Amino acid sequence: MLSLGLLLEALNWIGSATFAASGALVASRKQLDPVGFVLIAATTAFGGGTLRDLLLGRPVAWLGTPGLVLLAALVALLVFFAAHRLEKRFAALLWADAVGMALFAVLGAEAALAEGASPWAAILMGMITATFGGALRDVICGEMPLILRKEIYATAAALGAALFVALTGLALDRSIAVCAGMAVAFGVRAAALLRGWSLPAYKPRPGRDYPDQR
């Protein structure tokens, strides 16, 4: 059976690759050059983890693993040459993002617990790890960040991270907790994509005249 350390390492590589792919797909929609593809892919893959590590006061993880940077660059270049073959690039982007979100929501929470963070802080770190890279990607590319839309996205990340933290607190085998948290995060996001679920958006209402305003 795969040890917890190897499982987490494998999931980190898979999550980095899927987030790099989602970043590169956005770059393809913006018709960027290969350097732009690599930069946006790397921002998406490592942005959330970088903020998490800085907040936790620990070394930024990807700086000690140059292979991850190379992987993100290779994925970006692969998408550069192959994106035109995808008929529905936005759909591919959403699904790649869903996989990366589910993986990093739990990996972020696990990293926070390993540093001695409280349960609520671990859930928050999971959300940040899962969503901040995508938010940076969208801001750089001039799009409304997915996390700010009425999509069920950050909510799915929070649920996955919360389940992982809860199961860990119950002393369940951590490998099972990791898999369960990821499954819930991805399942909620997948259901939202397939069924069109979304959070209610604010509806504008007529303004009011205040007595002190003439």
The type of residue at 82 is A
* pLDDT reading at 44 higher than 90: yes
* pLDDT reading at 214 higher than 60: no
- d(C-alpha 210, C-alpha 149), whole Å: 31
Residue 212 lies in a domain: no
Residue 152 lies in a domain: yes
Residue 207 lies in a domain: no
The pTM assigned to this predicted structure is 0.90
pLDDT of residue 69: 96
Residue 14 lies in a domain: yes
Mean pLDDT of 49-64: 96
Residue 116 lies in a domain: yes
pLDDT of residue 148: 84
Q: Give how many domains the chain has, as a whole number.
A: 1
H-state helical runs in the chain: 4-29, 34-56, 66-82, 89-114, 119-140, 154-169, 174-195
pLDDT of residue 172: 93
**83 - beta bridge partners?**
none
Residue 201 lies in a domain: no
- d(C-alpha 135, C-alpha 48), whole Å: 9
Residue 183 lies in a domain: yes
Instruction: Give residue 89's domain range.
Output: 4-195
Q: Quick one: what percent of the chain has pLDDT higher than 90?
A: 79
pLDDT of residue 212: 60
* 87/154: higher pLDDT: 154
pLDDT of residue 205: 75
Residue 13 lies in a domain: yes
